Structure 1
């Protein structure tokens, strides 16, 4: 039995960027949802969205780190959609924390698509055709 190919550094960097972004998203969402005083309902709803999105991003990042191509693609797609929403939210709230999360999400998506990381996700054995 041959030893499995070691995980490239690009995959680990992308995982940790996504995990840090997910943690910051969930913490920021919790702060928005449970804010003291009068807060617009829009911000409380956005906080709930950030909590769910952070949990989903951490799940997808963990599965992508394990070597599943489908979860890598899903995490990249979520990162692109999240980047657009975070940019809009950062402009609306003038918050620098959201820009930091935006940078982490974008770096994770770009690094996981590098050729060294993509080669690791390519299966070594071609699938068997159904006869």
Structure 2
């Protein structure tokens, strides 16, 4: 039973991260069509500062399952969330300080990805 719940969690996390990436990619492609490549790269990089840490969180958080591993489950979620927050901060800092991308487009991509992180679980909850 617990392995089944863990599998459901992994599946939902995969769908959420996949949806985040696809929506960010579509937004970047639309931006290329209506604006310019620099803006699209900003959206893509801003979105990836959320998508990459979210994927890493999913890998870490769903490593363990079961009543006997309840401490490991909790530790995995805390570790995953900590890594996600730290990596997000590092990636955003790099994107803002190292690249010459427009900060507003980085923020747009970031907001799109975070919004999908909130919306996607609701969309997939019934199908999981």
TM-score grouping bracket, smaller chain normalisation: 0.3 to 0.5
Structure scoring higher RCO (CA < 8 A, sep ≥ 6) equals 2
* TM-score normalized with structure 1 length: 0.45
* TM-score normalized with structure 2 length: 0.46
| Larger Rg, first or second structure (1 or 2) | 1
